[in-house]
Amino acid sequence: MKNGIFESEFAKGFINLCEMGWQKGWHERNGGNLSYRIKKEEIAPYLDSLCRTGEICGIGVTLPHLAGEFFMVTGSGKYMSNVKGDPENCLAVIEILPDGGHFRTVAGLSAGGRPTSELPTHLMGHDARMSATDGSRRVIYHCHPANLIAMTFLLPLEDRVFSKELWEMMTECPIIFPAGVGVVKWMVPGGAEIARASVEKMKTFDAVVWAHHGIFCAGDDFDNTFGLCHTVEKAAEIWIKVRSVAESKRQTITKDEFVELAKAFGVELNTDFLD
């Protein structure tokens, strides 16, 4: 059953998300990355086929909640456009060791390489979103959508400003991300510092914008994680269109209307961001 894991049902969902993101134009070159916390029953049939004697690597932080978990992740420098055609080369399965501070690659990266350079943000993000949602969040997705990145040159880098502007752009937005979005100022990608700043936001938000870089989204499954990202980017696209033709809006959704909407759909809207 060598590498059969890349033909599993969850791998199909993983690969499909990579392909959809590529089709959207959110993954120039090796841009973006994806991770999935594999369910116990999903990894069980493959345990005997995994190579569990490889090099042990440090995560850079200790995440005791993740000890013993297995993740499917994209490889660093791998292109999303190649994932569908060659998943065994582009993807890895990693195992978090019992100390919660180390991992090893147990499948994939068939031509060599290592997991995404954003692994610290992914793993610390899983730790934060898992705790905040009673374990329901399993997917973390990072991509480079153009309209959202463009917004980060025009608005103050504040959670409330981005959240309200995005909510206003499309009626479904407050229903899909009622907590709003977090915003992290520009920082060097790939390290522990940006991971820590992102994780502070991930304690509250499923979507975190990285100024002049992209977005991280968390979700329970591949569809709702991609759907969240798609919704935020579409709202950003409308925002850019509106801003491209006029300095200010002629009318918008009011605070009372937002409250009415939240009540009708039974969502807990973060009304602090409406003032």
Could you give the 3-state DSSP secondary structure of residue 8?
coil
Provide the minimum distance between the beta carbon of 53 and ligand 13P in the complex, in angstroms, as a whole number: 25
User: In whole angstroms, what is the distance from residue 71 CA to residue 115 CA?
Assistant: 10
Token pair in block for residue 210: 């990285």
Q: Which is nearer to ligand 13P, 30 or 270 (CB)?
A: 30
**Residue 225 binds to ligand 13P (criterion: CB under 6 A):** no
168 binds, among Zn ion, ligand 13P, none (CB under 5 to 8 A by kind): none
**Binding segment for Zn ion among 21-29, 85-93, 175-183, 207-215 (CB under 5 A)?**
207-215
**Residue 35 binds to ligand 13P (criterion: CB under 6 A):** no
DSSP 53-78: TS--EE-SS--GGGTT-EEEEEBTT-
Total residues interacting with Zn ion, rule: CB under 5 A = 1
**Residue 31 binds to ligand 13P (criterion: CB under 6 A):** yes
163 binds, among ligand 13P, Zn ion, none (CB under 5 to 8 A by kind): none
Provide the minimum distance between the beta carbon of 154 and ligand 13P in the complex, in angstroms, as a whole number: 22
| DSSP conformational letter for 49 | G
Cα separation values, 223 from 31, 170, 174, 210, Å: 20, 20, 18, 22
Given a contact cutoff of 8 angstroms between Cβ atoms, the answer to whether 17 and 34 are in contact is yes
Provide the minimum distance between the beta carbon of 150 and ligand 13P in the complex, in angstroms, as a whole number: 17
Q: What residues contact 247, with CB distance under 8 A and at least 6 apart?
A: none
The neighbouring-strand residues paired with 29 are none
Q: Which is nearer to ligand 13P, 189 or 227 (CB)?
A: 189
Residues labelled as active-site residues: 118
Pick from 6, 14, 30, 37 the residue near ligand 13P by CB under 6 A.
30
Task: Indicate if the alpha-carbon torsion angle 144, 146, 148, 151 is positive or negative.
Answer: positive
Token pair in block for residue 113: 């390489």
Given a contact cutoff of 8 angstroms between Cβ atoms, the answer to whether 235 and 242 are in contact is no
Q: Which residues, numbered 227-246, are part of the site for ligand 13P (CB under 6 A)? A: none
**What mask, x for binding ligand 13P by CB under 6 A, covers residues 90 to 119?**
--------------------------xxx-
Q: Which is nearer to Zn ion, 75 or 214 (CB)?
A: 214
**What mask, x for binding ligand 13P by CB under 6 A, covers residues 63 to 82?**
-----------x-xx-----
User: In whole angstroms, what is the distance from residue 183 CA to residue 79 CA?
Assistant: 26
Q: In the complex, which residues of this chain contact ligand 13P (CB under 6 A)?
A: 30-33, 74, 76-77, 116-118, 142, 189-190
